[in-house]
Structure 1
Amino acid sequence: MEGLEPPTLVREVWERFGDASVFTTSLGAEDMVILHMMSAMEVGMEVVTIDTGRLPEETYALIGEVERFLGIRVKVYFPDTGEVEEMVRRHGVNLFYDSAEKRHLCCYVRKVRVLERALKGRSAWVSGIRRGQTEARANTSRVEWDSVHGLWKFNPLADWSYQMVWAYIRENHVPYNALHDRGYRSIGCAPCTRAVREGEDERAGRWWWESGVKECGLHTGWVPADFRLGGR
């Protein structure tokens, strides 16, 4: 399946795995391309997004557009209320600005823990990540075994460039997040995302006060060393 073109790969995943497959989306440009492919081929794979509780209003608006214009129902998962409350009581509502460790904890509670629930019982996970997004994703394959979650992971756009993604969006009139028109190239939570300046890489606007790899943990599988919430 590694050599299949993106639309064919998406359809093949659905045909082989059926309801045991899921597409997780943050409604970024790459994800909108895949959603359009799914709509065009009438792929019935479940589509899941994670509402961290800190998303930009533009992202919520786009969920509605996906459902209205692409005819795809988006299932929204939320973080555990008790875990979020305990984290905020211990570290404050904007803990992610204090240190990289606390930012990782926030991402873990609001995103990674939620993904674990969304992937439970699945055999195939479709993702919109690309090799060109970060150094950590440079070796991403279209098809790979995810040993952390124990399932097959499919990245249909792994070898696409940023330019290819936007060419597809424009040619096919695909809806996209309005923040992209304001200089945002990668969009996450509102307090942790800004527009990218000229000459910066794609994910420079994510956690811009940090240096190093810009990842939240959804695609890396790490757990914060000090995670002690929820009985852990």
Structure 2
Amino acid sequence: IGTTFAGPYDDWPDDSICGWLEVKPTHAGYLGEAKKRGLTCEGGKAVKGSAKTTTTTKSTSTTKSKASTANSDITIYEVVFSPAVLKELLDRVISKTDYDFSKHKLTNNVKDIQCRFTINRVVYDNSELGVPEHWDMAKGTINVNGSDVEFGEGSYWKMGGLSTDKSYLRDEVNIKLTEDGHFVGKMAYFTHTVKQGEVPREPLYPTLTKHKRSTPMDLNNIDDVYASLWIDVEDWAGGIMRISRCKYL
């Protein structure tokens, strides 16, 4: 008797699969699960009654087949997107990280710099000044080449959900370093923790500015940098990106 293994999405509701698929339409795992269930997704929800019965047909091998087996089972599934969903997906081609750096004086470091970073939440519910929380939302390394800022390999968000896709820290970041040690630009930013099976939350794209409460990087003393760069995100909460342990590469 063969052993049957449960798939990674078997316990997910149909709406969760459609919600993830709406924001990541090319993700092989979500797409495969939707196909397996025969779901029709619209607006991040599964259309009621959309699950299709599985159709299995027998086909014999032909000259086009490289396999030597005489018969094989072929299962065909279909995922249907409404016109509204297709339009929304096409609209997302426009970059959410576009930013005009011409109003800033950017640094032009001769040597590349690498630093450690963490991002911590700041909550404004009970204080106008904000109360930093002492757990890391994201952590890793940053690399500065000239004025360009990139998150290093191995950096990651700790918020679950879509944040586990490391391409957000690689492809959806447009940040530069000013000559007075501030980060400016835009980046994908995850505000809420999402557990497995919950409907995904898309990131926000806050603008990083020369915040009045920030302690910028001291570019004249790289070996002793400890910067705190405040980020305004939402009314109820923002963040602090802490930079330390810098070195020239």
TM-score category (smaller protein): under 0.3
Greater Rg over alpha carbons, structure: 2
Where relative contact order (Cα < 8 A, 6+ residues apart) is larger, the structure is 1
TM-score scaled to structure 1, two decimals? 0.23
Structure with more of its chain in helix, by fraction: 1
TM-score scaled to structure 2, two decimals? 0.22
Structure with more of its chain in strand, by fraction: 2
